[in-house]
Amino acid sequence: MSAVAGRYAKALFALAKEAGTLPSTADELARVAAQASQPSVAAVLGNPLLPASRRAEIAQLLVRELALSDLLTRFVGLLADHQRLQILPAIHAYVQRLLDQELGRVRVSIRSAAGLQAQQEGDLVAAFTTLTGKQVIPQVSVDPELLGGVVVEVEGKVYDGSVRTQLDRLAKELAGTAGV
Amino acid sequence: MKHGFSRTRAALQAPAPVTRAPVAFVSRAFAFVTPGFVTLAVVTLASVTLASEAAEEHHATGIPWLTLLFNIINLGGFLWILGRFVLPSVRSWVRERRDQVIHDLEAAAAAKADAERLRAEWQARLAHLNETIEELRAQARRDAEQERERILAAARAAAEAIRRDAERTAAYQVRQTQQLLRAELVRQALQMVEQDVRAKWTAADQDRFVGDFLKQVQR
């Protein structure tokens, strides 16, 4: 995440917090970032040869289509003026993190080799709620490459309980033994 | 005139120049000739005077005292001039000549001695020529033997170094090959395990893994 995106995100977060519209602003920002993340749109926004007038038109189109609030309208216009529309997804991620911190919650990525049962997911959420002391928002995904078990990532830390990792570790140990 | 004599005398009394260049020889010749000319001029003048007086008194009788007196004076002047100017130059020339001859004789003796010494030295050398040649041959043989030993030692050292390098290289290649083989074995084993896991992995296994994971997290 770039420092530039961080500066824009902090500014937007502070203004939304002052206005008392943090959740709605975050939702609107998520919708704008989703549009900007689309490959065709991202390619246009990332084109350095795009004229400023054309960028402004795209910004106005986004604002109209998504019926953004006044704060987001001005924010998107500012990004268009500064030719920073392509960093909207990064700004969204940063704002999301700030919002989670503000609300005392943490997003946990849970990758499982097979679909988790509701009980298992609940147990995992409870375990990481206890571990982090924050409200856990699980983002569950299935990854067959893990072969078995789960991998949980929270606040930059990885808790790995997958068969794949155990096999890789075993392979490294055997290879290390071969070098002796 | 007196100044010319002094200079001549000083030149005569000076040490004989070592060089025998033509200029020095001519200068010395002039030094001898100048007093001779003076003497000749005085004698000629006196002779002319006497001749004129003798002509005037040609008809007188008895002992010609005046003529005798003039002759005596003339002879005295001649002898005085000879002793004053000519004799020192002649004496100096003779002394110089004697010194030169002595010097030449000494140089010739020294040269002869040198020649004798060289002759003796070369005779001695010629006498020992065979021994010298034999010594040179022996020295050449010793040098060649030493050179041969040195070359052999260097070759042995090089061969030893090459052998050690070859051993190290071979050992390294053996280790590399072993590692490659072991890695390949590990890869194939893991591949087999992976296929086995995919084929035999059950929901119960997944539940057990998730349960173990939870226990580890909660610990």
Domains of chain A by range and CATH?
A: 3-100 (1.10.520.20), 105-178 (no CATH)
- Contact predicate A88/A32, CB 8 Å: yes
pTM, rounded to two decimals: 0.49
Spatial distance between the Cα atoms of A118 and B207, rounded to a whole number of angstroms: 12
Q: A17: which residues sit within 8 A by CB, 6+ positions away?
A: A102
Q: How confident is the model at residue B19 (pLDDT cuts 50, 70, 90)?
A: very low
pLDDT for B183 equals: 86
Distance from CA of A93 to the nearest CA of B (A): 27
Compare all CA atoms of chain B with the CA of A144 and give the residue at the minimum distance.
Answer: B198
pLDDT higher for A168 or B38?
A168
Residue A130 pLDDT:
92
Q: What is the pLDDT of residues B106-157, one digit of tens each?
A: 999 999 999 999 999 998 888 888 888 999 999 999 999 999 999 999 999 9
- Using a 10 angstrom Cβ sphere, with 0-12 exposed, 13-18 middle and 19 or more buried, the burial of residue A45 is buried
Give the mean pLDDT of B76-101.
Answer: 93
Mean predicted lDDT score pLDDT of chain B: 81
Residue A140 has pLDDT above 80, yes or no: yes
**Chain A environment of B216 (Cβ under 8 Å):** 159, 161
The pLDDT of B195-203, averaged and rounded, is 89
Q: How far apart are CA B193 and CA B5, in angstroms?
A: 137
- The amino acid occupying position B119 is R
Nearest to A75 by CA among A113, A33, A109: A33
Q: Which amino acid is it at A18?
A: E
Interface test with A, best of B180, B192, B201, B213 (most A CBs within 10 A): B213
For residues B81-90, average pLDDT: 91
**Rounded Cα distance, B208 and A113, in Å:** 13
Tokens of A6: 């961080």
pLDDT in tens, A76-126: 989 888 888 889 999 999 999 899 989 899 999 999 998 899 999 999 999
**Range of lowest pLDDT (A20-34, A54-68, B199-213):** A54-68
Interface residue A121 vs chain B (CB under 8 A): no
Question: Is B55 a residue whose pLDDT tops 60?
Answer: no
Whether pLDDT at B15 is above 70: no
| More confident of the two residues B30 and A118 | A118
User: Quick one: pLDDT at residue A179?
Assistant: 45
Spatial contact of A128 and B217, defined as CB atoms under 8 Å apart: yes
Q: A174: which chain B residues are within 8 Å (Cβ-Cβ)?
A: 182, 186, 189
* A162 to chain B: closest CA residue: B209
Q: Which of A146, A174, A177, A180 best probes binding to B when mutated, by most B CB atoms within 10 angstroms?
A: A174
Q: Using a CB-CB distance cutoff of 8 angstroms, which residues of chain A are in contact with residue B204?
A: none
Residue B20 has pLDDT above 60, yes or no: no
pLDDT confidence of residue B97: 95
